[in-house]
Amino acid sequence: MTHPEAGAGGNADEFEAWFRLLETPRLGPVQARQLLAAFGSPEAVLRAPPSALRAFVPAAVATALAGAPAESFAQRLAHAHSWLRQGEGARRYVPLGDPAYPPRLLQTADPPTLLYAEGAMGIGGRRAVAVVGSRNPTPQGLLNAREFAAELSRQGFVVISGLAVGIDAAAHEGALRGPAGTVAVLGAGLDQFYPASHAGLARRIVEGGGLLLSEYAPGTPPLKENFPRRNRIIAGLSLGTLVVEAALRSGSLITARFASEAGREVFAIPGSIHSPQAKGCHALIKQGAKLVEVAADIVDELQPESPPPTAIRATAASGGEQTEPGDALLQALGHDPVTLDALQARTGWATAELNARLLELELLGQVARLPGGLFQRQSAA
């Protein structure tokens, strides 16, 4: 039987291994993915001797992985177990490689190694638009966020935002008026709402068929440095990002940058030239974001949606034969080290899609990431 705290097909021991790996001090997400690609699973990483781990991480991190966990580990693990068990089946953890992992996130350069989720996990893979903006919006900004989100939901787009005060909350509220649902991505554990007064809104999101997501373990407080990283998930889940209102120095502009870097659309609502909350949107429009006046401007731009990453097929050079993306990429790699630019020239794929494919093959042990930004096909054992 699947344990209450498990991800799809997982169990308590598996979760403990993931938790131990990702909670190891000074182990970054890139290093974690490299370890998983090299050893195959978190359990195998933790069984490996320090000498083997040092090929991928600094000596201090290798020693921490191979040694006993910190004194606080058991308490933090127990708290995470407790949170998962109390969710009446709606709470889970979703690591890279899990079939439930949102496929659009795999197209980004830095996908979370593991997600904590509460609610309808399947909504994370549907077509979606991020709606973000100022925490100190104008009354018109709040109205715009609610109305755009409600119409996007009625048009079948999931609305993604960050559950913050201001535009985020208005976007979630508006989306709840439509049928498509909404996803809130937190910069803290899913038991640490910020602000605390939004706990009720979070419950309504889950009860309305939506989803709460975070890469931070339950119990993690809303630290300032977590929110910029949270924004890459908001952008990564979405086909496009709408900035409703934003000052020139705004976390919403970080979200827009992540969207642009991932090859997603960026939209902005113009405002008064005298309003500080409009200056960020005007800057985005000058940089190439699409000016929108009604939700139909977004809907028309994003339809029809291209196939999701798991459904994309590459056409082989000979006779138009259909080939799985992984096979096509392995063919493009050849057997010598190659740069990302060279692979792009050979495949014609966008950077975000190519990075997603390479990550998938890394985790399968079919591709190695070498120093100097090189990639090399791994010979079959």
Q: Select the more confidently predicted residue: 365 or 280.
A: 280
CA distance linking residue 84 with residue 221, whole number of Å: 17
Domain-embedded: residue 289: yes
Answer yes or no: do 162 and 263 share one domain. Answer: yes
Task: Name which of 6-10, 53-57, 330-334 the model is least confident about.
Answer: 6-10
On the question of pLDDT at 40 being above 80, the answer is yes
Is pTM beyond 0.85? Reply is no
CA distance linking residue 233 with residue 159, whole number of Å: 13
Answer yes or no: do 331 and 296 share one domain. Answer: no
Q: pLDDT at position 2, please?
A: 35
Confidence bin at 374 (pLDDT 50/70/90): confident
Q: pLDDT at position 70, please?
A: 81
Q: Of the residues 39, 69, 86, which one is the last residue of a structural domain?
A: 86
Answer yes or no: do 260 and 130 share one domain. Answer: yes
- Helices and strands in the chain, H and E counts: 16, 14
On the question of pLDDT at 287 being above 80, the answer is yes
Q: pLDDT at position 167, please?
A: 98
CA distance linking residue 212 with residue 206, whole number of Å: 7
Mean pLDDT of the region 88-116? 91
Domain-embedded: residue 91: no
Strand order in the sheet with 240-243: 91-95, 114-119, 211-214, 182-185, 158-161, 128-132, 240-243, 265-268, 290-291
Q: pLDDT at position 341, please?
A: 77
Q: pLDDT at position 316, please?
A: 30
Each residue's pLDDT tens digit, 6-20: 444 457 889 999 999
Q: pLDDT at position 138, please?
A: 95
Q: Select the more confidently predicted residue: 58 or 336.
A: 58
Q: pLDDT at position 10, please?
A: 53
Answer yes or no: do 237 and 297 share one domain. Answer: yes
Task: Name which of 181-190, 203-212, 308-317, 370-379 the model is least confident about.
Answer: 308-317
Average pLDDT, the chain: 87
Q: Select the more confidently predicted residue: 345 or 378.
A: 378
Answer yes or no: do 139 and 283 share one domain. Answer: yes
Domain-embedded: residue 153: yes
Report the candidate in 18, 11, 7 with the shortest Cα–Cα distance to residue 43: 18
Domain-embedded: residue 307: no
Answer yes or no: do 163 and 297 share one domain. Answer: yes
Mean pLDDT of the region 97-126? 92
CA distance linking residue 367 with residue 380, whole number of Å: 10
Each residue's pLDDT tens digit, 302-321: 986 444 433 333 333 333 33
Report the candidate in 196, 181, 136, 129 with the shortest Cα–Cα distance to residue 160: 129
CATH number at residue 359: 1.10.10.10
> Which residue segment(s) compose the domain that 37 sits in?
1-86
pLDDT above 70: percentage of residues in the chain: 90
Q: Of the residues 43, 69, 86, which one is the last residue of a structural domain?
A: 86
Q: pLDDT at position 150, please?
A: 97
Answer yes or no: do 332 and 242 share one domain. Answer: no
Q: Select the more confidently predicted residue: 317 or 335.
A: 335
Q: pLDDT at position 21, please?
A: 95
CA distance linking residue 78 with residue 57, whole number of Å: 27
Q: pLDDT at position 337, please?
A: 84
pLDDT above 90: percentage of residues in the chain: 67
Q: pLDDT at position 332, please?
A: 81
Domain-embedded: residue 98: no
Residue 29 β-bridge partners: none
Helices (H), the chain: 12-22, 29-39, 42-47, 50-53, 59-66, 73-85, 139-154, 167-175, 199-207, 226-236, 251-261, 276-286, 295-302, 325-333, 340-347, 351-363
Residue linked to tokens 């893979």: 125
Answer yes or no: do 40 and 62 share one domain. Answer: yes
Answer yes or no: do 135 and 282 share one domain. Answer: yes
Eight-class DSSP state of 289: P
Answer yes or no: do 189 and 77 share one domain. Answer: no
Answer yes or no: do 270 and 367 share one domain. Answer: no
Residue 218 in contact with residue 80, Cβ under 8 Å? yes
Each residue's pLDDT tens digit, 215-246: 999 999 999 999 999 999 999 999 999 999 99
Domain-embedded: residue 263: yes
CA distance linking residue 48 with residue 34, whole number of Å: 14
Each residue's pLDDT tens digit, 146-159: 999 999 999 999 99
Domain-embedded: residue 103: no
Q: Of the residues 29, 63, 86, which one is the last residue of a structural domain?
A: 86
130-to-206, 239, 241 alpha-carbon distances in Å: 18, 8, 4
On the question of pLDDT at 247 being above 90, the answer is yes
Q: Residue 50: CB partners within 8 Å, gap ≥ 6?
A: 59, 62, 63, 65, 66
Count how many domains the chain has.
Answer: 3
Complete DSSP assignment for 112-150: -SEEEEEE-GGGGGS-EEEEE--SS--HHHHHHHHHHHH
CA distance linking residue 32 with residue 148, whole number of Å: 38
CA distance linking residue 81 with residue 79, whole number of Å: 5
Domain-embedded: residue 81: yes
Mean pLDDT of the region 185-213? 96
CA distance linking residue 125 with residue 139, whole number of Å: 32
Confidence bin at 60 (pLDDT 50/70/90): very high
Q: pLDDT at position 68, please?
A: 86
Answer yes or no: do 318 and 298 share one domain. Answer: no
Q: Select the more confidently predicted residue: 180 or 319.
A: 180
Task: Name which of 110-114, 294-298, 353-357 the model is least confident about.
Answer: 353-357
